[in-house]
Structure 1
Amino acid sequence: MSSFRPRIAIVGRFAGSTSALRFAAVVNARALLESVWAAGGDPVTLLPVEGVDWTERLVGYDGVLLPGGGDLDPATYGEPSRHESVYDVDAMQDAVDLDLARVALAGGIPLLAICRGLHIVNVVRGGSLVQNLPVHHRHHEHDVLFDRAHARFGVAGPSVRASCYHHQALDRLGEGVTVVARATDGVPEAVLIDAPGWAIGVQWHPEDTAASDPDQAAIFAELVRQAESSSRPSRR
């Protein structure tokens, strides 16, 4: 059996309340990293740094995962004001995520965008967001129904049970962003992203239930499979 594990780049999230790390930290969700590892990938947390050449920085990585996190500054998608519910806005985090998404998509690097990551991709492509849903999907599980393309996500059938934590959603769709699944209340839940490589986004958090739900684990497995098939021979 090959010991090769595709390296999956995951930009870190700033955190200010991690006392064991002297309060200020760069983190990723444990369940997210474990889900990538269980799928056969090697998750690597990247320090958010502005002004870097992402094409150069991503050399040696086989896939990109844009994780969840706080809200994007509404100014990034042309909104003149910010709803009072918008939280954890960080200008550096926004700039880093947006730059990374542009480079990954343009370069055809396999990409999985989760929750905030989905919002990032939509904004990069010129789309916008609903700043605050009338009914939040926080600490919430619901069914998601695909109208097509569920196999692109690795899931077995057109319906999945999704664990959600978000108060925002896609509004105006960006160029090349196609909704292929929705929640029962109509909120967009999964998209295909037109790019040279495999690129998908989900509004829910598959890492929450990947350890017990084969459909959620399959999303990470598909990312790893795509990353492995696109990696340079010298990396094997």
Structure 2
Amino acid sequence: MGEVHDRPIIGIVPTQDLAAGRIEIRDEYLDAIVMAGGTPLVLPLTEDTGVYETLFPLVDGFVLSGGHDIDPARYGGDASNDKLGELTPMRDAVEYLVLSYAYKYDVPTLGICRGMQMMNVFFGGTLYIDLADQFDGPQGITQDMLKHQQTIDYSEPSHFVDIVQSSKLGNLLQTGRITTNSMHHQGVCVLAPLLNPVAFGPDGLVEAIEVKDRSFMMGVQWHPEFFAGAKKMGCIFASLVDEAGLSAIRQQNGRKPLPIVPPEARAGAWPEVGRRSEG
């Protein structure tokens, strides 16, 4: 094992429990990063953007974890849909900020379940608010036949996923088909133009995405943290941590606080990372 400072720092966006006034993260996320050789850092959720101006330059990679539904106002969806689950606006805003920073500075990022959906929304795509209500796959497999919200333990796979073998994910997994767990009721509807779809469920639903012009920005609809370490999906976290190590080397001579532009200053919906000042 390397020295502590040799282990890339992976910032994890947690789940927000509004009723209890707390943030939460499952041990599986932390364990997956540790087993891959990284140092997990759970990010706070706060309106004080100065916190992120200070934190982000210290982070070598990000994980957007699973969680609640994304506000449909962010992608032009119907907020009155009665299948819509609980929303966490603060988390939406922080994840947008993470993705703005990660894309601008090519910081390796892995989106898991909701995290993959947020990637699609951030880059301009849309979501099905509820798969059972809105989506039937082109192969005629209905949501009654394929349950995306499994009732068995999360450590057990529930359906197969076909992988585009020429993709980064395909190269990592070294197979054209894997079995995955599944615990979501939303999914990618219109794919953002900057994303490549690199895995599909039996019903044709997009199950993994990659950003076309970055070294490692990947999203998976399933939860690979339950199959991490020496198991079949540990390579996903290992690749994230390896890429984060390379990112740390690239950035080691230029880390400084980064300005965050508030929405009112640019007529936007969310804050975003500003341009790094020169000199």
Normalised by the length of structure 1, the TM-score is 0.89
Contact 1:150 1:157 (8 Å CA) reproduced: no
**Cα distance, 1:48 vs. partner?**
1.0
Superposition pairs of residues 16-31 of structure 1, within 5 angstroms: 23-31=20-28
Q: How many residues align?
A: 229
Per the alignment, do residues 42 and 220 of structure 1 end up closer, same or farther by CA in structure 2, a change over 3 Å counting?
same
Aligned with 1:204: secondary structure? coil
Q: Equivalents in 2 of 1:38, 1:137: separation in Å?
A: 28
Per the alignment, do residues 151 and 121 of structure 1 end up closer, same or farther by CA in structure 2, a change over 3 Å counting?
closer
The more displaced of 166-175 and 45-54 is 45-54
**Cα distance, 1:16 vs. partner?**
5.2
Q: Equivalents in 2 of 1:128, 1:65: separation in Å?
A: 21
Per the alignment, do residues 78 and 165 of structure 1 end up closer, same or farther by CA in structure 2, a change over 3 Å counting?
same
**Cα distance, 1:212 vs. partner?**
6.3
Q: Equivalents in 2 of 1:71, 1:55: separation in Å?
A: 26
Per the alignment, do residues 92 and 144 of structure 1 end up closer, same or farther by CA in structure 2, a change over 3 Å counting?
same
Q: Equivalents in 1 of 2:53, 2:176: separation in Å?
A: 35
Per the alignment, do residues 226 and 87 of structure 1 end up closer, same or farther by CA in structure 2, a change over 3 Å counting?
same
User: Which amino acid is the alignment partner of residue 137 of structure 1?
Assistant: H
**Cα distance, 1:81 vs. partner?**
3.1
Contact 1:148 1:181 (8 Å CA) reproduced: no
Q: Equivalents in 2 of 1:169, 1:34: separation in Å?
A: 26
Q: Which runs of 5+ in 2 are unaligned?
A: 133-142, 151-156, 254-279
Q: Equivalents in 1 of 2:18, 2:88: separation in Å?
A: 12
Q: Which has the larger radius of gyration?
A: 2
Q: Equivalents in 2 of 1:68, 1:124: separation in Å?
A: 16
* 2:202 is the alignment partner of 1:192: no
The more displaced of 145-154 and 131-140 is 145-154
Contact 2:12 2:43 (8 Å CA) reproduced: yes
* 2:196 is the alignment partner of 1:178: yes
Q: Equivalents in 2 of 1:16, 1:77: separation in Å?
A: 22
Q: Counterpart in 2 of 1:137?
A: 148
Q: Equivalents in 2 of 1:148, 1:122: separation in Å?
A: 21
Once the two structures are superposed, what CA deviation does each residue of 1:60-106 show, in whole Å capped at 9, x if it has no partner? 11101111110001111012433222212011111111121122112
Q: Equivalents in 2 of 1:183, 1:59: separation in Å?
A: 36
**Cα distance, 1:51 vs. partner?**
4.9
Once the two structures are superposed, what CA deviation does each residue of 1:98-153 show, in whole Å capped at 9, x if it has no partner? 12112211210001111111111111111100111122411262111112334446
**Cα distance, 1:168 vs. partner?**
0.8
The more displaced of 204-213 and 171-180 is 204-213
Choose from 63, 71, 93 the match for 2:69: 71
Q: Counterpart in 2 of 1:219?
A: 236
Aligned with 2:196: secondary structure? strand
Q: Equivalents in 1 of 2:107, 2:53: separation in Å?
A: 10
Aligned with 2:173: secondary structure? coil
Q: Counterpart in 1 of 2:39?
A: 42
Q: Equivalents in 2 of 1:36, 1:78: separation in Å?
A: 34
Q: Equivalents in 2 of 1:107, 1:195: separation in Å?
A: 12
Q: Name the structure with the higher strand share.
A: 1
Q: Counterpart in 2 of 1:20?
A: none
Aligned with 2:124: secondary structure? coil
Q: Which runs of 5+ in 1 are unaligned?
A: 18-22
Contact 2:18 2:88 (8 Å CA) reproduced: no
